[in-house]
Amino acid sequence: DTDGLTKALEQGLTAGMTVNEIKELLIQVYAYCGFPRSLTALGVFNNLLTERKANGITDPEGESASVVSDIDKYGQGAKTLSELSGIPVDAPAPWYEDFAPGINRFLKEHLFADIFGRGVLPYSDREIATVSMLTALGGVEPMATGHVGICRHLGVTTPQLNALLDIIEFNLGPSKTEPIRKIVNR
């Protein structure tokens, strides 16, 4: 829904988000919705910025992202995931590590080191965006449960999560939010 996305991006800019904050959100969500959707969203955002500039609107760029390099990405990703979830780094491995060890490496090195290490946004904002994306996708309640738990660990309250779901419901309808509301309100 590129028209809906354009409106949402414009609302974000009007509310005070910087260009780089929105770029970071659109980069992060590729891990949840895939590169094609993320690249499409970045294209929509680029077109919106071009249109706004042509209309004399200059949006603040904001802080630039950092590039993670010259570190043990697996170790850093494991540390970041532990900080997000509250689960110790040395806790028993998740089921998927034995089943498909490559995915665990990608999650830790790429998602939790490369992406979360870019700065610009606090972890709680990244997790709120993740819950939003998972809600919009639907059918991924196990992952949504984990990310709702991370939000709570980071200090996001149940009323705040319900307010987020109210916004999503307004835009996408109750069929998208009902499964996640059950998780949030347990």
Share of the chain above pLDDT 70, in %: 100
Tell me the per-residue pLDDT of 80-114, one tens digit each, with 9 for 90 and over. 999 999 888 888 888 888 898 888 889 899 999 99
Tell me the per-residue pLDDT of 23-56, one tens digit each, with 9 for 90 and over. 999 998 888 888 999 999 999 999 999 999 999 9
Using CA atoms of 97, 38, 82, 123 in order, give the dihedral in degrees to the nearest 10.
Answer: -170
Task: Label residue 70 by pLDDT band (50, 70, 90).
Answer: confident
| Residue extents of the structural domains in the chain | 1-65, 67-118, 122-186
Q: Which residues of 2-41 are buried (b: 16+ CB within 10 A; e: fewer)?
A: eeebbebbbebbeeebbbbbbbbbbbbbbbbbeeebbeeb
DSSP letters along the chain, please? -HHHHHHHHHHHHHTT--HHHHHHHHHHTHHHH-HHHHHHHHHHHHHHHHHHHHTT------SPPP---SS-HHHHHHHHHHHHH---TTSPPPHHHHH-HHHHHHIIIIIIIIIGGG-SS-HHHHHHHHHHHHHHH-S-HHHHHHHHHHHHHTT--HHHHHHHHHHHHHHH-HHHHHHHHHHHT-
Instruction: Dig out the tokens for 21 from the structure.
Output: 């904050």
Give residue 54's pLDDT: 97
Tell me the per-residue pLDDT of 4-14, one tens digit each, with 9 for 90 and over. 899 999 999 99
pLDDT of 165 strictly over 90 = yes
Tell me the per-residue pLDDT of 108-159, one tens digit each, with 9 for 90 and over. 999 999 999 998 999 999 999 999 999 999 999 999 999 999 999 999 999 9
